[in-house]
Chains A and B, each alone.
Chain A
Amino acid sequence: MNATRTIFAATGFWLCLGGVGLAFLWHISVGAKAIPLGVVWQAIAAPQVGVFDHVVVRDLRMPRAIFAISVGAALSVAGALMQGVTRNPLAEPGILGLMAGATFAVIIGIGWFGLAGTAYVPLFAAIGALIGAILVWTIASAAPGGATPLTLILSGAAVGGFLYAIESAAILLNEDTFRNFRVWLSGSLAGRDMQTYLWALPWFIAGLIAALVIARQVTALAMGEETAAGLGVDTFRIKVIALGAVVVLTAAAVSVAGPLGFVGLVIPHVVRLFVGSDYRLIVPFSAIVGAGYVTVVDIAARVVLAPVEISTGIVTTMLGAPVFIWLVRAKL
């Protein structure tokens, strides 16, 4: 990176961060009762006891905006890492089975073991994500030609579909226990509790830090395994760390919001258009842009058909599917 590029990158980063800040305030101001941005800012910066709007902002609305930001950043960074390390432009937690595995595990954890709101939720999600990833990879590897982007997508679709069928059956068979899952299963930030988020928070932070630390080596890995090894990268170690980070980030995101499709696919590709192929830039920009994206999508999910709210995951999937098709046509 030369000096001008560094300045460009830094300026862009702060602009994006400012954009996320605005989206965050806007997200809070929108709702059954519109609260002016100025009041939102006051409620955050200098809350006054007894002001009703301030209570609404701090206790009811701000948590959801925080969830949106965290989940968007986590899924986007997870997608970026997967695309870089595997050199597969279509890699993403949702497509390659991690999200399906995490979702399934959370349903089992909460529905059968009654672990809602406990520290075990992200742990269950992480184990599920890891098993999902291994399952998809194993099936794709057994296909003729091995684990190519195409066989991975097919295998991911099969595993995802199978797990979703089991989840649907479980919900139909036991409506009482699983009533709350219907909405969560389509990926939603509504009605999530702060407790689950706090348990997931260390996972978010650990995953993001790991991603930033290995970003340099991921750029080298994106140039091929042998090239990276020639540049002194311990490729096995970096791949293990990357897998760990992706699993942890997906688990944290699913614990909080359920499966939000295509966020991890779309954001890194958009970011690459602007910052190029250096993961020292792609990782932090994916985090910021992804955070802003899910925040704005969640605003749309609440506003478009107001007063009815549609699931955030439905909107991310509707927006992401065309990008996915474009990527298949352009990059496969």
Chain B
Amino acid sequence: MTTSSPLTASGLSVGYGDTTIVKNIDLEIAAGQITALVGPNGCGKSTLLKAFARILKPKTGHVMLQGRPITSYPTREVATRLAILPQGPVAPEGLTVTELVAQGRLPHQTLFRQWSPGDRAAVERAMDMTDLAEFADRPVHSLSGGQRQRCWLAMVLAQDTPLLLLDEPTTFLDLKVQVDLMALLSRIVHEDGRTMVLVLHELNLAAAFADRIVMMREGEIVAEGAGAEVICPDQLRAVFDLRSDVIADPETGRPVCLPRTPDHVPMHALAAAAE
């Protein structure tokens, strides 16, 4: 895995202006797996994702895409190997679902070869995977939040890249929709053989669906590994300043974080006090 990692960062520092947000990070993304970047607000997880996609330029260090420095690729070629879905994208008014998904084919087209059977097949496949066929001709903005997010996902799927980077794809969605979306992402990665990096806000979603979790704090990686190795009360206290209990999901064995408020009194203590 270490040799065949499709995306690695070494000595990577990224920021805006004079502020450095991601500080000297080394990270190898595991091929064929879902890696979740988690951490408190402002810890640099989204910034790291943007640097991975070459949207932000590193201050120091570099990103290697499939064994070559990402800066050595032409812009358009990066987009045929790596697709990124930014946080909270907005579709122009009136754009239909099919038109949006078709945008994913942009990096595969040139001025004089604008639409090929291959493009059509990729769009149809992406809409199939995300179950969007019934909305094909509807305007994107007329759909619900979850449906809309599936449209954007279909767009990056149509890009047909081995690597997918998604920035908080579940934000503002209902719980059921979040879980459905995560299950869909998991299917895409494991059945389609793609590699995915997700920025996630929700720890329990990351624990339930990610193969690996990278926990960040103040621009640095604090812990990295399978869910059970990373999500434990001590880590959560150190990284999120959160008191919590972590139990194992009785069905999957994956860790589940139960947050505790500072004035929380355990049930048995209440019972003892009542006696």
Give the B-binding residues of A (Cβ under 8 A).
1-2, 87, 213, 216-217, 219-220, 222-224, 226-227, 229-234, 272-273, 276-278, 280
A219 and B78: CB pair below 8 A?
A: no
Chain B residues with Cβ below 8 Å from A226 are 50, 55, 84, 86, 89
**Top 4 A-B residue pairs of the complex, sorted by shortest distance between their CB atoms:** A232-B79, A232-B107, A226-B86, A230-B84
Would you give 7 A-B contacts (Cβ < 8 Å), ordered by A? A216-B106, A216-B109, A216-B111, A222-B92, A227-B86, A229-B54, A272-B94
Which residue of A has the minimal Cβ distance to B54?
A229
Alpha-carbon gap, A229 to B49, bound state (A): 13
Complex Cα–Cα for A107 and B156 (A): 50
Task: Name the segment of B19-27, B97-105, B193-201, B214-222 touching the other chain.
Answer: B97-105
Interface residues of B in 42-82 (CB under 8 A from A): 50, 53-55, 75-80
B residues with CB within 8 A of A? 50, 53-55, 75-80, 83-86, 89-96, 98-100, 102-104, 106-107, 109, 111, 114-115, 156, 159
Please determine whether A230 and B83 come into contact, CB atoms closer than 8 angstroms.
yes
Partner of B103 from the list A2, A219, A272, A273 (CB cut-off 8 Å) is A219
CA distance in complex: A43, B115 (Å): 43
Using A223-B90, A224-B86 as known contacts, say yes or no to A230 and B75 having CB atoms under 8 A apart.
no
CB distance A224 to B85 under 8 Å? no
- CB contact under 8 A between A1 and B95, given known A231-B107, A231-B159, A234-B75: no
Q: A216-B114, A230-B79, A230-B83 are in contact. Are A277 and B92 (CB under 8 A)?
A: yes
Which A residues are in CB contact (< 8 Å) with B95? 223, 276-278
> Which residue of the partner chain B has the closest CB to A236?
B75
Determine if A232 and B77 form an interchain contact, defined as CB atoms under 8 angstroms apart. Answer: yes
Q: Please tell me if the beta carbons of B94 and A220 are within 8 angstroms of each other in the complex.
A: no
Complex contact A232–B156 (CB within 8 A): no
Task: Choose from A1, A223, A272, A277 the contact partner of B115 (Cβ within 8 Å).
Answer: A1
Complexed CA–CA distance, A89 and B91 (Å)? 14
Nearest A-chain residue to B83, judged by Cβ: A230
Assess A223 versus B75: contact at CB under 8 Å? Given A1-B102, A229-B55, A231-B104. no
A67 to B159, CA, bound (A): 43
B217 to chain A, nearest CB (A): 24
Q: Given A224-B86, A278-B99, check contact A230 B53 (CB 8 Å).
A: yes
Cross-chain contact B106 with A223 (CB below 8 angstroms): no
Q: B54 — which chain A residues lie within 8 A by C-beta?
A: 229
Q: Is the CB of A276 within 8 A of B156?
A: no
The smallest C-beta distance from B131 to any residue of chain A, in angstroms, reads 19
Chain B positions within 8 Å of A1 at CB level: 99, 102, 115
* Bound Cα distance A280, B95 (Å): 13
Please give the distance in Å from B46's CB to the nearest CB on chain A: 10
CA distance A223 to B106 in the complex (A): 13
Please give, as numbers and ranges, the residues of chain B lying within 8 Å of A220 by CB-CB distance. 103, 106
Q: Is the CB of B90 within 8 A of A224?
A: yes
Name 10 extra pairs, CB < 8 A, besides A1-B99, A223-B89, A224-B86. A216-B109, A220-B103, A224-B89, A226-B55, A229-B75, A232-B77, A233-B106, A273-B94, A276-B95, A280-B114
User: How many angstroms from the CA of A273 to the CA of B54 in the assembled complex?
Assistant: 35
Residues in A neighbouring B77, C-beta threshold 8 A: 232
- With A223-B89, A227-B89, A277-B95 already in contact, the answer to whether A233 and B102 are too (CB < 8 A) is no
Task: Give the one of B89, B98, B100, B106 with max A CB within 10 A.
Answer: B106
Query: How many Å lie between the Cα of A234 and that of B99 in the bound state?
Result: 21
Taking the closest CB of chain B, its distance from the CB of A329, in whole angstroms, is 15
Which residues does chain B contribute within 8 Å of A2, judged by CB atoms?
98
Closest to B55 in A: A229
* A219 to B89 CA separation, bound complex (whole angstroms): 14
Residues of A within 8 A of B115 (CB): 1
Which chain B residues lie closer than 8 Å to A87 at the CB level? Answer: 92
